A and B are shown apart, each in its own frame.
Chain A
Amino acid sequence: MEVISKLTIAETIEAINDAGLHARRATLAGLGIPCAMGSRDGLDFQAYVQEGQSLCFQATIPFSVPGYTDVTNNWNGFQRFSKAMTVKEGYLMRFEADISHGITRGNLNALVRKFGEAIVTFRAMYLRQV
C-alpha cells in the first residue's frame, strides 16, 4: 500500500480530482490557511492539513435560519462519516483524520469520497426544501 508520509495540499487536490469533485486551491476564509476546495453536486467543501497532524474536511450547508440541533443530533447518531453542527448560516459538517504518522493513498481517496457523499446525503435528508 502506498503511504504518503507528509500530506500536502497538492496531493489532496489530486485525490479530490480523482474522485471527480472539481478541486481547486484556496485559502480558508479569515484564517489564511491554504486548503483544497472541492465540490459535489453544487456543495463546496474544504480540505486542509492542520499543524501536520490532522486532515480536516468541512462544509457549510446553507439554510434559511441557523440550523436545528435535533437535526444535527439525529445525523450524528446515525451517520458516522462526518459530524454536523449548527452555525448561523445553517449547518457545518466536519470530519477529521489523524495523519501525524502519514496516510495511505487508499484511505485519502476513501475520506474524500465519503465526505463528498456525506454532505449531499445530509442535504437530501434534511433540506429538501432548499
Chain B
Amino acid sequence: MFGIGKPKHHVVTSFSQACDLLARMGVEVAPRASAANSNSVIIRKNGLKWVFAGDTELFTVARVFEAPEGWSIDKLQSWMFAKNFVVVIHNPDEKTFILASHIIIEGGIILQNMARLVYNFDAYIIGFQSHMNLGKQHFKPLE
C-alpha cells in the first residue's frame, strides 16, 4: 500500500546526540550555568523545568523538591508502586525529594521512546506534586 511502511526508527547512542535531536524536535534545551554540569542540560516546558543528564550507559531526568514537614513514606512509596519509569529518593541530609526517571541507553535507544520520557516528565512532576501536596515553594531552584 502506498505511504504505508515500516516506521523509521532513529536510534540514540549518546547524550550529545540526544540533546541535538531533542532541540531539532522543538524541545527547549538550555545549558546549565555551571561548567561542572557539562553532561547535563535543563529542559523547559509550560513554565516547568527539569534536569536532563546522561553518560554512555544511562540518561536521567530529575527534579528536586523540598520535603515538607510530616511527609509520609507510605504515601511516597505508593506513588512509586503506581508509576512506571520513575523513582523517588528522599535525601534526609538535604531534606529533599529527588524525582527521577532513569533510561538505560546501552545498545541504543529509540529516539521516540527517549523523547517521550524526557519531554513528558512534566506530567510526573505535576502528579508527584499533587500526590505529596507540594506547593510551588517546594521546588528547589535549578543551577
Interface residues on A, range: 20 to 34
- Kindly state whether residue B85 has any CB partner on chain A within 8 Å: yes
Task: Give the contact stretch, choosing among B17-25, B40-48, B109-117, B130-138.
Answer: B109-117
The residue in chain B whose Cβ has the minimal distance to the Cβ of A69 is: B73
Kindly specify which of A21-29, A33-41, A78-86, A120-128 makes contact with the partner chain.
A78-86
Q: In chain A between 72 and 130, which residues have their CB closer than 8 angstroms to a CB of chain B? A: 72-73, 76-77, 80-81, 83, 85-86, 96-111, 114
The interface bits of chain A over 49-75 (1 if a CB of B lies within 8 angstroms of the residue's CB, else 0) are 010001010000000000001001100
Contact across chains for A106 and B107 when beta carbons are under 8 A apart: yes
Main secondary structure of the interface of A (DSSP, over half): mixed
Interface residue? B29 (CB, 8 A): no
Whether the pair B104, A110 counts as a contact (CB closer than 8 A) is: yes
Interface membership of B32, Cβ < 8 A: no
- Chain B residues in the interface with A (C-beta under 8 A): 6-7, 9, 11, 58, 60, 73, 77, 80-81, 84-85, 87-91, 98, 102-114, 116-117
